[in-house]
A and B are shown apart, each in its own frame.
Chain A
Amino acid sequence: MSYHMSIDVERCKGCGLCIAVCPQHVLELSEEVNPLGYFPVFQARPDDCNHCALCCMMCPDVAITITEVVDDTSAQA
């Protein structure tokens, strides 16, 4: 069982609340502006993410979601 964290760049307003609560220091603000005119957050160190979901909980814009990734190695074989 693995998990995938995704950030909806178009919803993010770059407030940085998620960055402050991330215990693993995974997140940083991007230097590229999004369509809303904000600098959205991105996973600078994705491998450090342990999917604790504190960032999701703190985000006022529901821009961060974590989904379960179905392990399909058997299908590949």
Chain B
Amino acid sequence: MPKTFKKPEALSDQKTHYCPGCTHGVIHRLVAEVIDELGVRGRTVGIAPVGCAVLAYNYFTFDFLEAAHGRAPAMATGIKRVRPDLIVFTYQGDGDLASIGMGEIIHAANRGEKFTTIFVNNAVYGMTGGQMAPTTMPHQRTTTSPFGRDVADVGMPVKMAELLSALQTPGYITRQTVIKPKHIVRAKKAIKQAFTYQLEGKCFSLVEVVSTCPVNWGMTPLDAIKWTEETLLPYYQLGDVKTPEN
């Protein structure tokens, strides 16, 4: 078992603006640990989304861009195409990636762009105040689905990992979560695999991380973990959905 634990170098000292119990902080840390372990901090460029993680550049110690809503994959394409030696990742939420940025992510994945996407899916719009997302669960109440998501009216929640895996271009697409330490260990391994594929110039890689939003779900952080386990994970099943080998 680990005996020591410290903040990774790729993570800054700044306190995050995230709400108590929000798992963005865990995912940030995992990305930073992987970048440290791969020794690529000096050639990494991150891309922050529009959403709760819009200020992500404050929390890392390497170069960063801030994208417009959903456009991070296009920006990452621009960087990676002109500077293939840089390590580029986008960090996007469900509103950003699965709604307004659906076009950009699908085409970047289909071109097989050699960057990595960390897709944080917490089934709700966070920053704008808890509105319905494409990934909001059936009957889930949000500020724009006050009677619960009516799938007859707005369709079923989008399974992004599966949708992207349907593309014929090779890629690494996996779904993870960070609600318990065992999941965190697996999520980190997946993030490291994703960045490793990028380093090898192998393929597009995306790690969907099923995450919590205690405040907009109207739950305590611990209840949010429980709800994730009982409601989200049966629908958003964990594991590799696609690997470049298959």
Contact = CB atoms under 8 A, between A and B. Distances in A.
Do chains A and B make direct contact within the complex (CB under 8 angstroms)? yes
B148 interface: no
Given A16-B222, A17-B225, A60-B23, A3 B18 contact: no
Is chain A's binding surface mostly helix, strand, loop or mixed?
loop
A54 B183 CA distance: 12
Nearest to A21: B181
Contact of A61 (B2, B16, B181, B220): B16
**Which among B3, B5, B180, B220 has the highest number of chain A CB atoms within 10 Å?**
B5
Nearest to A51: B3
A54 B7 contact: no
A67 interface: yes
Interface stretch (B24-32, B92-100, B117-125, B201-209): B24-32
Contacts of B184: 57-58
B191 interface: no
Interface residues of A, number: 29
Contacts of B185: 57
A26 interface: no
A17 B21 contact: yes
Given A17-B225, A67-B6, A53 B1 contact: yes
A76 B51 CA distance: 54
Contact of A52 (B1, B25, B180): B1
Nearest to B184: A57
A17 B222 contact: yes
A58 B3 CA distance: 15
A65 B181 contact: no
Contacts of B29: 60, 62
A68 B2 CA distance: 11
A56 B5 contact: yes
A67 B23 contact: no
A56 B3 CA distance: 10
B166 to A, nearest CB: 33
A65 B18 contact: no
By Cβ-Cβ distance, the 6 closest A-B pairs, closest first, are A60-B25, A15-B21, A13-B20, A56-B5, A15-B20, A15-B221
